[in-house]
Amino acid sequence: MGQGKKAGISPTRSEDFPAWFQSVVRDAEVAELDHVRGAMVIRPWGYGIWELMQRAMDEKIKASGADNAYFPLLIPLSYLEDEAKHVEGFAKEMAVVTHHRLEKDADGALIPAGELTEPLVVRPTSETIIGRSFAKWINSYRDLPLLVNQWANVVRWELRPRVLLRTTEFLWQEGHTAHADEAEAREKTSEMLEVYRAFAEEVIAVPVLTGEKPESERFPGAVSSLSIEAMMQDGKALQAGTSHYLGTNFSEAMGIEFTDAEGKDRRAHTTSWGSSTRLMGALVMTHADDNGLRLPPRIAPQQVMIVPITRDDPAAVEQAAEELAAELRGLEAQGAPLRVKVDTRDRKPAEKRWEWIRKGAPVVVELGERDIESGVVTATRRTDPDLGREQIGRDEAAGRIAEIVDAMQGECLAEAAERLAARTADDITGVEAFREYFSGDDTDSGGFVRAPWSEDPATEKTMGELGVSVRCIPFDQNLAEGAVCVISGAPAKVEAVLAKAY
Amino acid sequence: MGQGKKAGISPTRSEDFPAWFQSVVRDAEVAELDHVRGAMVIRPWGYGIWELMQRAMDEKIKASGADNAYFPLLIPLSYLEDEAKHVEGFAKEMAVVTHHRLEKDADGALIPAGELTEPLVVRPTSETIIGRSFAKWINSYRDLPLLVNQWANVVRWELRPRVLLRTTEFLWQEGHTAHADEAEAREKTSEMLEVYRAFAEEVIAVPVLTGEKPESERFPGAVSSLSIEAMMQDGKALQAGTSHYLGTNFSEAMGIEFTDAEGKDRRAHTTSWGSSTRLMGALVMTHADDNGLRLPPRIAPQQVMIVPITRDDPAAVEQAAEELAAELRGLEAQGAPLRVKVDTRDRKPAEKRWEWIRKGAPVVVELGERDIESGVVTATRRTDPDLGREQIGRDEAAGRIAEIVDAMQGECLAEAAERLAARTADDITGVEAFREYFSGDDTDSGGFVRAPWSEDPATEKTMGELGVSVRCIPFDQNLAEGAVCVISGAPAKVEAVLAKAY
């Protein structure tokens, strides 16, 4: 362990995983719940991570052919009435705007005034608004496919809010597409799930399973819901992106119709797909440790933080630090120029080193007068569990640091993939072994069970009593002939992934 | 005029300027008012423009040292109570959330339920939320300056909504900074105004005046408000960005305090500055003509649209078009690779040509079998008032088109700057000449008057009767000794810019 004020995360992962998560998010200055119950402030360091995630996701979405657009935040109640008629399981927890003015009452206190004739709902998702715009824009088969994405904030009134995972307001992208036929729409649904899978693994180094949701976990109104599922360090699953084939259900409700090449009127087949700031929760619970956050380099706002250790001649040391920074910025990691900053703030070097370790900068470099004299720099690699100081000759420093940063992306993914493999059990048979596997608490939530499943809703009730659910029917099915359901012992229809989940 | 179905804008600018503006915004598929009164859908082509504007602005803001962050959409009523106590002219038209659930009544209709104990307001601006976070984050002078920017949607209940200019919801960036002393805060206020000026002129080719707002037009709670003011083609002014020095007014209301180097508790001096999707309104009213939008290349989502004219051998023509596109993408305009697209949609070539002219693509290229045989391409330059077809030899085509695109940015700015100069009168003396200058209607709104002004509020009343206001006290003062106020004839204190305004 290095010298200087070490400020590890309290409690540790093994002491209390949920409390550890909250501490990391707070101490790494990623985000905080504040101001309104369940509302989240994303702090500059956290938002820097989100911007890099957003940019990488946006590139992939644009490459899929979708254009960005923006639709209104406030939805007329009548739109939701129409949806409620068509959609079972319609969610009802949402923020409702009923007035459009503030007035002072007799005591001078502000009160709502100007009651609206029709209340407005703050969008929890935008199918109802975007679908109606689609209905207006689409006339002929020549207007199809229509592929639109929106980056936006949405509000869902969460009863048990949790930073990054379940907040009243969150940021997301929601894609909406309309197609002439089912095959094309289903293909788009799969294509966008693949975008999410690639993003999770390549960009945030979170390995995921891909598959279809069981009927009980389908998006209300969807014919089929696909998802990516990641495993957190406590063994729980986190759904990190979903892609829905909506059939003609929403087209019917909103009148999305077109004239085909033969002049016949037909309903469009639609899809929707979304991913959110929840991905940052996945990032933290996958990569953080008891010293704080660890950031895969592709989404680290700064990949190398240089801390000058100044005593007699601060200007000379800072200049040497800036020279190293400039050299590093000329090099690349993961296909982009290195992001490097010299931390010249008026604080103690040890304090700064620990701050950047806690915030997850991939490499922290210290550079003092003695280092300059000896022709070395001192680097701390965030993936070194001991956080030891590595001395590197000044001449080879930039190249070596770039290599370390470049390699760290793969190290992060490999470590998480190893955990996912190690904590996925495919040999659980019978409900007793199943119960035993999931007998831990919130700090040890078991892991994933891959097992034959009957698809009988009664088995989901049994699982539910243990806090377990069917996360997905994975695409890579491996069901032995004659296999029986892990819960009921009845003939299995599919292989399913079962786990506790966020 | 070229062949093909010409679809100009109706009415024209000289027939009815306000109606022309709405037609351009609609016909160029930039945006539309829809769904909720005053709410705006930004369509893909319009959002593509906004993304390029946003990216350019974001780079400048980051270069100024501010980091992006995100704060909650919903603000507790009590926060606004505190602000109302401190701030005169507190705006009250805002969307108020009073419930957090929908329920079905006896007839099955959805109704608001779950009344909140404290109503929440959808942010009209975020000083009250961000200020309170600042108060929490700032303890010592070492935490200053704190420079934060947010890209967000805001809602202000507009009584007379107008697409892009005055919409109930709009997108913007709002910067908020805190400083140890007044001088530094005032310098930041000026620095950010300069960011807006540079953005307007360099990025969207809109020349602007910079100056200070008169007291009557100050942001409520500000000590000083600076703005950039642009002139639209009807002669009206449009405020396109503002930067406010807030003194310690907001710090006092929200407790933004710090311990200085001597251990003394002091209040921070704060600033805020914002620019919004209104800039797209400025863009349209500066550069569009009677054929539709014209986009300065830096913010054109596609700078070159290639329309293949296919008859006998569509594949060969499309391949030739793609080859030209690939060649163009290897070239640069305005310091970035050219954005080029081949429009292969199943529509008539003439229809496509006019669509891209209407949407403002800087260059539209047509390429047919005969062109290929003759070794030429046919280009339409959007800044050519006749929209004539220019034949360019195939070998030199890519280079020549890149030159045309590159030069168009400057052409757009020069044309607008000429108009601003031509329609700014600095020789108006006396209220009668002033009245005459502004006697036109909404299609001919006069222009800018630069004149000596007494700063007497009574003169603003006289101006107001003509629909005119003081747009700013420009920084480049040119007040002759002994000059008298254009309205009152009393001794003038400053030179002011007076105009009708959006």
In tens, the pLDDT along B397-413 reads 999 999 999 999 999 99
Note if the bond before A44 is cis, omega within 30 degrees.
Answer: no
B95·A120 Cβ contact <8 A: yes
Set out the domains of chain A in order of their start, with CATH numbers. 29-94+122-287 (3.30.930.10), 299-407 (3.40.50.800), 424-500 (3.30.110.30)
A96·B99 Cβ contact <8 A: yes
Among A83-92, A134-143, A346-355, which stretch is predicted with the lowest mean pLDDT? A83-92
Is some CB atom of chain A closer than 8 A to the CB atom of B62?
no
Share of chain B above pLDDT 70, in %: 99
**Min Cα–Cα distance to chain A from B222, Å:** 21
Residue B420 pLDDT exceeds 90: yes
**What's residue A88's pLDDT?**
73
Among A5-9, A34-38, A129-133, A222-226, which stretch is predicted with the lowest mean pLDDT? A5-9
Q: CA end-to-end span of chain B, whole Å?
A: 34
How many whole angstroms separate alpha carbon B237 and alpha carbon B281?
A: 12
- Give tens-digit pLDDT for B234-288: 999 999 999 999 999 999 999 999 999 999 999 999 999 999 999 999 999 999 9
Average pLDDT over chain A reads 96
- State the average pLDDT over residues B439-450: 94
- Give tens-digit pLDDT for A194-247: 999 999 999 999 999 999 999 999 999 999 999 999 999 999 999 999 999 999
Task: Tell me the ipTM for this assembly.
Answer: 0.96
Q: Nearest-CA residue of chain B relative to A103?
A: B92
- State the average pLDDT over residues B136-164: 96
Of the pLDDT bands very low, low, confident and very high (cuts 50, 70, 90), residue B3 is very low
> What count of Cα atoms within 13 Å lies in the side-chain half-sphere of residue A213?
22
- State the average pLDDT over residues A103-123: 94
**What's residue A291's pLDDT?**
97
Inter-chain CB pairs, A–B, below 8 Å: 195
**What's residue B6's pLDDT?**
62
8 Å CB contact between B33 and B163: yes
How many whole angstroms separate alpha carbon A256 and alpha carbon A250?
A: 8
**What's residue B181's pLDDT?**
97
**What's residue A6's pLDDT?**
62
Instruction: Say whether A198 sits in a helix, a strand or coil.
Output: helix
Beta strands (DSSP E) in A123-168 are 146-155
A72·B35 Cβ contact <8 A: yes
**What's residue B58's pLDDT?**
98
Higher-confidence position of A8 and B183: B183
Residue B40 pLDDT exceeds 60: yes
- Give tens-digit pLDDT for B70-116: 999 999 999 998 888 777 777 789 999 999 999 999 988 999 999 99
Q: Minimal CA–CA distance to B212: which of B228, B192, B232? A: B228
Tally of CB atoms within 10 A around A111 = 15
Q: In chain A, which among 340-359 make CB contacts under 8 A with chain B?
A: 345-347
8 Å CB contact between A237 and A468: no
A106 φ, ψ (degrees, to nearest 5): -60, -30
Chain B contact set for A346 (CB, 8 A) = 142
How many whole angstroms separate alpha carbon B496 and alpha carbon B75?
A: 37
Residue B4 pLDDT exceeds 80: no
Dihedral angle over CA of A55, A60, A63, A65, nearest 10: -100
What token pair was written down for A90? 């319609």
**What's residue A85's pLDDT?**
79
Alpha carbon B187 to its chain's center: 23
Average pLDDT over chain B reads 96
How many whole angstroms separate alpha carbon B41 and alpha carbon B63?
A: 31
Chain A contact set for B122 (CB, 8 A) = 73-74, 97, 122
Among A345-349, A404-408, B284-288, B302-306, which stretch is predicted with the lowest mean pLDDT? A345-349
In a mutational test of the B interface, the residue from A50, A74, A118, A136 whose CB has the highest number of chain B CBs within 10 Å is: A74
How many whole angstroms separate alpha carbon A360 and alpha carbon B330?
A: 38
**What's residue A67's pLDDT?**
98
What token pair was written down for A411? 């190290």
Residue A1 pLDDT exceeds 70: no
Residue B155 pLDDT exceeds 80: yes
Q: In chain B, which among 1-60 make CB contacts under 8 A with chain A?
A: 34-36, 39-44, 46-48, 50-51
